[in-house]
A and B are shown apart, each in its own frame.
Chain A
Amino acid sequence: MAAWRAIRGIVADRVFLAATAAALLSAALLYEVRGAEAIRLALADDVRIFTILAVFLPPVLLLAAIVEVMLPRSVVERWLGVGSGFKGIMVATFAGAFTPGGPFLAFPLVLALYRAGADWAPLIAYITSWSILSLARVLVFEIPLVGVELVSVRYVACLILPPLAGLAARYIARVYRPPAGDRR
């Protein structure tokens, strides 16, 4: 029974149990403080958000899965290996924004490049870009959960941060030197 196993996998998750407990507790609290009408209003608002999620998430998740499976690691490696100058930082920023998936893809990639002798600046810019500008995370979590207004302002305001982090890393690495023999 694959379906049963899938349901059990979802329900027996620790984060799920914590979120369920939080939902029940907050519902009880709201009922105590504001009464049944407030519960009804909150649920009506939730229905609106769930509608957005139901329309928005399936295509986005499908797209993320396609990119995750189809984009070969070597392509990102080639992008990141272009150099350590300003151009390298810009390319790393671009690559970070388009790298899909969680930390299980990004960090091993950076580790491989680091061992291969890549410079600090593009690696820092890449990780910063992947954490702040990752389109996959923005589309999957941010837009459905907090709305387009905040996301558009935040994204534009954050666009120049990864290159800045890369440049800062280049100068800091000159003063604060890596320990000898750190690259295994």
Chain B
Amino acid sequence: MYYLVAAIWCVVAVVLAWAWRHRPEKLRAVFRQFLRNGRVFVGVVPMALLAAGFLSPLVPGDVVARWLGESAGMTGIMIAMLAGWCLPVPPVIFFPIIAVLLKAGAGLPQMTALIAAWNVFALHRTLAMELPLMGRYFVTLRLLSSLALPPLAGLLAIPVARAFGLS
């Protein structure tokens, strides 16, 4: 984790140095965008994490492990996919939920299917942006094309997790 942070700081330093030399007039806009993007991490994210931290000891581990655990196999992947479809929440709420489930004993392939289903379906995004901008045909075509993706991702995650030594 901390190697990753160091690597990212190095990249940021290099890019900033380049931007400072070549596009100094854009640095103000960069800073403003940084503040705008960062706002949610000052308010919502800490609160959501607190809630997730308080809830995770209450989540019944045996229930989660039975339905979404590694041993739930394909059934677990399908349940996870349905759960991903039914969660039209922004990422600040979604990922703390995943963290709670993971701690309660959910399997990596099942969580992969859940995240993929949430990403593909993303009702909050589809209704707010995609449908009004792109029209019904585009949305239908996209959903039809990616209907099979979440279970496929879950199945693919089984050998991947094994190859990483995580199952």
* Residues on A facing B (Cβ under 8 Å): 6, 9-11, 13, 15-16, 19-20, 22-23, 25-27, 29-30, 33-34, 38-39, 41-43, 45-46, 49-50, 52-53, 55-66, 68-70, 103-104, 107-108, 110-111, 114, 120, 123-124, 127-128, 131-132, 137, 139-143, 145-150, 152-154, 156-158, 160-161, 164-166, 168-169, 172-173, 176, 178-179, 182
List A contacts of B96 (CB < 8 A): 145
List A contacts of B122 (CB < 8 A): 131
List B contacts of A61 (CB < 8 A): 34, 37-38, 41
Q: List 9 additional A-B contacts (Cβ < 8 Å) besides A70-B23, A142-B115, A150-B102.
A: A22-B48, A22-B51, A23-B47, A62-B30, A68-B33, A137-B91, A141-B92, A148-B4, A164-B152
Is A34 a contact of B57 with CB atoms below 8 Å? yes
Is A69 a contact of B26 with CB atoms below 8 Å? yes
List B contacts of A23 (CB < 8 A): 47-48, 50-51, 54
Is B44 a contact of A111 with CB atoms below 8 Å? no
Partner of A169, one of B41, B112, B141: B141
Is B38 a contact of A145 with CB atoms below 8 Å? no
Partner of A153, one of B23, B38, B138, B164: B164
Report which residue of A43, A68, A104 has the largest number of chain B beta carbons within 10 angstroms of its beta carbon: A68
Knowing A52-B1, A107-B134 are in contact, say whether A156-B160 is a contact too (CB < 8 A): yes
Is B51 a contact of A15 with CB atoms below 8 Å? no
* Residues on B facing A (Cβ under 8 Å): 1-2, 4-5, 8-9, 11-12, 15-16, 19, 23, 26, 29-31, 33-35, 37-39, 41-51, 53-58, 90-93, 95-96, 98-99, 102, 108-109, 111-112, 115-116, 119-120, 122, 125, 128-130, 133-135, 137-138, 140-142, 144-146, 148-149, 152-154, 156-157, 160-161, 164, 166
Report which residue of B34, B133, B154 has the largest number of chain A beta carbons within 10 angstroms of its beta carbon: B34
CB distance from B36 to the nearest CB of A (A): 8
List A contacts of B34 (CB < 8 A): 61-62, 65
- Alpha-carbon distance between A182 and B135 when the two chains are bound, in angstroms: 8
Q: Which 8 A-B pairs have the closest CB atoms?
A: A19-B47, A145-B95, A10-B43, A26-B54, A157-B157, A65-B34, A65-B33, A23-B51
